[in-house]
Chains A and B, each alone.
Chain A
């Protein structure tokens, strides 16, 4: 780690005074990483790259955007028509938000399945939940900026949620709006915050990485690395694997941007905002649909708001709800089943969020909401004590011995990975 390991004298000179090259070498090149990470470990770096893509396109878009109720919609259309490659910038930014959430949701489910939230990575996990919250706020405010019908009515519905809070609710809503309805002051502050929050996200991402590098990545076996035989340097092994993952990710992303750019949007947002005309169905962006379903599942307004925020809040205490010492779902036969049920439950919630709140949809939405919370508050704590996990391998590089292979499917993967 000393500075003289660098051949270039300029680099050596700088590194002696400002050890940035040593730092990079230590954290990005030598950084020992478990050698058995599967492709689900690609999604962290993909999320980081998505954030960078969003910030770069967003900065250029903001150079051409006008945050005023009379000009916002027109300025977006000008970007689409008259700014050189403005359509490309905007479609990348618009679809980038969706792809950022796709990547982050996969990243989160990976953490849930492999127990990446467990000791000693509780703070790493909680910082991730903070990032998710910040992303949701940023995405919501960004969707308001084009000032289409869904922008306006989405902003109206979501900000109105705060009016459910007792005593202070109405005051908070007026304060958020900067007036007595969603109007120009609202648009201006949303633009300001939409520009600010991504940089706050960058800050929390840095903390997330610091916390990650303290103990290193979890891995599909969920056991600690026991020495150099279990790890490989991050570069070149995971730089090239992340690069391959990035190429595949960009292929899907480009397919959406160039061939289905409006698929994940809503046609109503190409109608300028009109405070006098409510759209037939006010639907949030797809990535909010599960939370929207939870909001609507509770008949009481305040209860719905609390449930929606509770759905995120429960993630903060997840490391203490699931106290099973075994991290990876691979060695927890019952947890594994409930994980997939929970995953299906989230998809059901997303579907219900897109449907009108009537008839059978209400019933399904309520059952799925109850299950969401049951999974965290009841099932995981019970499994922590009631479940007998399968025996863990001794280390990443040591094969499993003994009668662990009762289930054929479960035995196959560790065998290939571990030997």
Chain B
């Protein structure tokens, strides 16, 4: 009697875990699976790759895509020191103000500034992109199912449309995109950027660097979370063991009386 009841808890828990996964999986595409350094319980970010990804973002993506939630000061997570961050921020012009005369003015960026967006608002972005809106990339890895694999696949799956498929004007064929018709032109062709560290600049490699960078941008606390999680799990497993022992000890007289 007892065993089938015990399966109740297991069934409820496993069902609750599997249902949303099924619902979130949707889509008519098969993604390229990649081993990401940040996945798994001990996952960490690859700083060198993130720095390269940041460079690729600046040179390839930032013309159309904002990263509104990222401030220059956050780039410390990529391994940049304070002086480097100040230098990176100073490359940008940001609007500030109003000043004492009530005028807005432009100044060089400082670490506290967010990365300036390419367009002042959504309408300007649409007007410049045939009516399509290039989404903000700060959260994109968390805002798509299997975000890391999805973006990696999306960036590397531009193809010629199969015979008989008509691609409308201003659209492009992408095997990883739901419906396959995407308004974003192919961003990477290979050797789009030149890395100071001499790393691989093939389409695949740059796409991976971008995903590493955007995964961090979506979840900057990931490393801290997993590090803390390991310690918390060790503590809780020990606590469970200890409290189980304490329970057996306290209940010994009741069990003895029953035996």
Contact = CB atoms under 8 A, between A and B. Distances in A.
Size category of the A interface is: 35 or more
Contact of A254 (B22, B138, B142, B232): B232
Interface stretch (B13-21, B101-109, B199-207): B13-21
Interface string A347-374: 1001101110000000000000000000
Interface in B1-21: 1-6, 8-9, 11-13, 15-17, 19-21
Contacts of B247: 240-241, 243-244
Contacts of A410: 1
Interface string A198-212: 000000000000000
Interface in B33-47: 41
B166 interface: no
Interface residues of B, number: 57
B9 A106 contact: yes
B20 A247 contact: no
A27 interface: no
A271 B244 CA distance: 44
A237 B236 contact: no
Majority-rule SS of B interface residues: helix
25 contacts: A35-B254, A39-B6, A87-B225, A113-B5, A240-B243, A241-B247, A243-B243, A248-B240, A250-B236, A254-B229, A254-B232, A257-B229, A258-B228, A259-B229, A263-B21, A267-B24, A267-B145, A267-B147, A280-B26, A330-B1, A340-B4, A351-B15, A354-B23, A355-B22, A409-B1
Interface of A: 35, 38-40, 77, 80-81, 87-88, 91, 98, 101-102, 105-106, 109, 113, 232, 236-237, 240-241, 243-244, 247-248, 250-252, 254-255, 257-259, 261-268, 270-271, 280-281, 283, 286-287, 289, 330, 340, 343, 347, 350-351, 353-355, 409-410, 412-414, 419
Given A266-B24, A409-B1, 14 more contacts: A35-B254, A81-B221, A106-B8, A240-B243, A241-B247, A244-B247, A254-B233, A258-B230, A258-B233, A263-B21, A264-B16, A271-B143, A281-B23, A413-B1
Interface of B: 1-6, 8-9, 11-13, 15-17, 19-24, 26, 41, 69, 74, 135, 138-139, 142-145, 147, 178, 218, 220-221, 224-226, 228-230, 232-233, 236-237, 239-240, 243-244, 246-247, 250-251, 254, 258-259
